[in-house]
Amino acid sequence: MRVMVVGGGGREHAIAWKVKQSPLVDQVFCVPGNAGTAGLGENLPGDPGDIPRMVAIAKDKRVDLTIVGPEAPLAAGIADAFLNEGLSVFGPSKAAAQIESSKLFAKRFMKKHGMPCASYSAFEDYDEAVAHVKAQGLPVVIKADGLAAGKGVFVCRTWDDVEIALRETLLDRRFGEAGDKVIIEELLPGQEASLVVITDGEVVIALPSSEDHKQLLDGDKGPNTGGMGAFSPTDVLDDALLDRVTREIMVPAIRGMAAEGKPYRGALYAGLMIADGKPHVLEFNCRFGDPETQATFPRITSDLVPVFQAAASGSLAGMKIEGEDNHSICITLASEGYPGNYRKGLEISGLPECEKLDGVTTFHSGTKEVGGKLVTAGGRVLGITAVGATKEEALKRAYDAVDKVHFEGKYFRRDIATRRAR
C-alpha cells in the first residue's frame, strides 16, 4: 500500500512513523514533511492548503490512502475534493470540520445535543460584548469564532483582560475573519484532559487518553503555544470517567453530526474539563492533537493503517485499538523567543545519541537538512518522547534524552507531566 500524510509538523511525523511500521505499507509520502519524515519515506513539496496539488500528488503517486494532519486543509474541504476524485482519505468533510472551524457552530451543536459544556453567548459588536461581560461578571473566557492557530482563546480574570481580548479580536481584527464574532463563555474550573476517538461516522474507538501543556512557562504560565509537551495516560480520567466521556460526549457528537447531515469520519478530538467529577467538553478538534499524538501513538501496539482505512470507508465495526499498559511523556524542544520571534538555521547535534536511549523516540517539528546538517527551521523544533513502565520512569528517560540534544537557544519546560490540581 502507498500512504500519504499531509502536513509537516511533529504530529505528522508521529503519524508517518506509525504508518511506516505497518506490514501493509510499502511506501510513505509526506507533503511537505520535515527532516524526520524524510527518513521514513519520500517528502514532496507542497502546501497542505493547496488542495488541487494534494489531489494531483495522490493521483500521480498512486496513493491508496491519504491521512490529513492539520485542521486548515480539512476546513477548506480537502476530504471532499479527494472523495470527488474517488480517492480514499482519512479526515472529515468541510461541513463536518466545522466542529472545529466555527466555535459558534460547535457550541450550538453541543447544546442542541445535550453535551455538558460551558454556557455561552455570541457577539459581533464590541459594545454589546462589553455590556454582556459587565452584566455577567468576571471571570469569562472569550474566543474568536474561527480558526486562529490556538491563539484565539482568552481566559479573562480582569477587566484589562476583557478589554484586550475584545479589542484585539473585534476591533483590531488580529485574527481577520476568524474574529468576526466572539463567543463569551463561563469559566469552568477543573482539570483538563484530551481524548481522541477514531470514527467512521457510526462506530467510535478511543485512543489512549492524554494531557497537553499549552503554556510556555513552568507552572502553566506565560503565553499559549502550539504545545510544550504532553503525556499519556492522564490520571484525570479513570475508567468510569472515560466511559462517561464516551457516552455523554463522543457518541452524542458522532450521532449528532450524522443526524445533521454532516456524517463525521476521521479523528475527533475533545478538549475536556473535569469539574466536580463531571466531564465537560471545552472544544472539539477535527484531527489528532499536536503534541498529544507524539505521546499517544508510541503506546499503541495495534496496526493503525487498517483502522484508518476502515474509518475512511465506513467499516470500523469490530475493530479494536490495543495499547500497552505503560506511560509516555513528550517534551517539546523549542527555539528561544518562541512563540514570538526566533532564529532559524541553528545546527542541531546529539540526536543519534538521544535516539539510542531505552524507550526514546524523537519526532521532528521544525527541522531541516541543509548541506548534510540538521538545523532548526521552526518555533517548535523537536518532540522527545519516552515510554516507561511508570510515569516516573518515562519522565526520567525523557529528561535524560532532552539533555543529549543541543542547539543554540534550546528551550523546554521542566515540569511536563507533573501538574497538580488547580
C-beta separation of 152 from 143 below 8 A: yes
Cell numbers standing for residue 11: 504530529
**Residue 155 contact partner, candidates ligand AMP, ligand GLY, none, CB within 5 to 8 A by sort of partner:** ligand AMP
Q: Please identify, using beta-carbon distances, which residue of 195 and 360 lies nearer to ligand GLY.
A: 195
Single residue of 16, 74, 99, 153 touching ligand AMP by CB under 6 A: 153
CB of 305 to ligand AMP, least distance (A): 29
| Of the candidates 407, 358, 414, the residue with the CA atom closest to the CA atom of residue 385 | 358
- Pick the stretch among 172-180, 181-189, 316-324, 405-413 that binds ligand AMP (CB under 6 A): 181-189
Residue 297 phi/psi, 5-degree rounding, is: -60, -40
In degrees to the nearest 10, what's the CA dihedral of 158, 162, 164, 170?
Answer: 180
CA–CA distances in Å: residue 52 to residues 6, 68, 85, 312: 13, 14, 11, 20
**Is residue 141 near ligand AMP by the rule CB under 6 A?**
yes
Q: Please identify, using beta-carbon distances, which residue of 180 and 220 lies nearer to ligand AMP.
A: 220
**Is residue 227 near ligand GLY by the rule CB under 6 A?**
yes
Rounded to whole angstroms, the Cα distance separating 323 from 296 reads 9
**Is residue 292 near ligand GLY by the rule CB under 6 A?**
yes
Residues 52 to 111 in contact with ligand GLY, rule: CB under 6 A: none
Q: Please identify, using beta-carbon distances, which residue of 63 and 268 lies nearer to ligand AMP.
A: 268
Rounded to whole angstroms, the Cα distance separating 132 from 173 reads 20
Cell numbers standing for residue 170: 473585534
Beta-sheet strand order (sheet of 204-206): 204-206, 191-199, 266-275, 278-285
**Is residue 7 near ligand GLY by the rule CB under 6 A?**
no
- Pick the stretch among 90-98, 158-166, 182-190, 309-317 that binds ligand AMP (CB under 6 A): 182-190
| Of the candidates 264, 329, 359, 370, the residue with the CA atom closest to the CA atom of residue 34 | 370
Neighbours of 138 (CB within 10 A): 13
CB of 133 to ligand AMP, least distance (A): 14
- Pick the stretch among 77-85, 235-243, 283-291, 368-376 that binds ligand GLY (CB under 6 A): 283-291
**Is residue 185 near ligand AMP by the rule CB under 6 A?**
yes
**Residue 118 contact partner, candidates ligand GLY, ligand AMP, none, CB within 5 to 8 A by sort of partner:** ligand AMP
Single residue of 83, 187, 251, 258 touching ligand AMP by CB under 6 A: 187
Residue 29 phi/psi, 5-degree rounding, is: -115, 140
Radius of gyration of the chain (CA): 21
Residues 6 or more apart in contact with residue 231 via CB below 8 angstroms: 210, 211, 295, 327, 328, 329, 330, 391, 394, 416, 417
Region of residue 405 (left: phi > 0; alpha: psi -120 to 50; beta: else)? beta
Residues 262 to 321 in contact with ligand AMP, rule: CB under 6 A: 271, 273, 282-283
Residues 373 to 392 in contact with ligand AMP, rule: CB under 6 A: none
Residues 107 to 136 in contact with ligand AMP, rule: CB under 6 A: 118
CB of 196 to ligand GLY, least distance (A): 9
Identity of residue 328: S
- Residue nearest ligand GLY (C-beta atom): 289
Enumerate the β-bridge partners of residue 31.
6
| Of the candidates 125, 124, 155, 126, the residue with the CA atom closest to the CA atom of residue 142 | 155
CB of 227 to ligand GLY, least distance (A): 4
**Is residue 144 near ligand AMP by the rule CB under 6 A?**
no
CB of 238 to ligand AMP, least distance (A): 21
Residues 208 to 247 in contact with ligand AMP, rule: CB under 6 A: 214
Binding residues (CB under 6 A) for ligand GLY: these are 212, 227, 285, 289-290, 292
User: Which residues here bind ligand AMP, judged by CB under 6 A?
Assistant: 118, 141, 143, 153, 155, 185, 187-188, 192, 214, 271, 273, 282-283
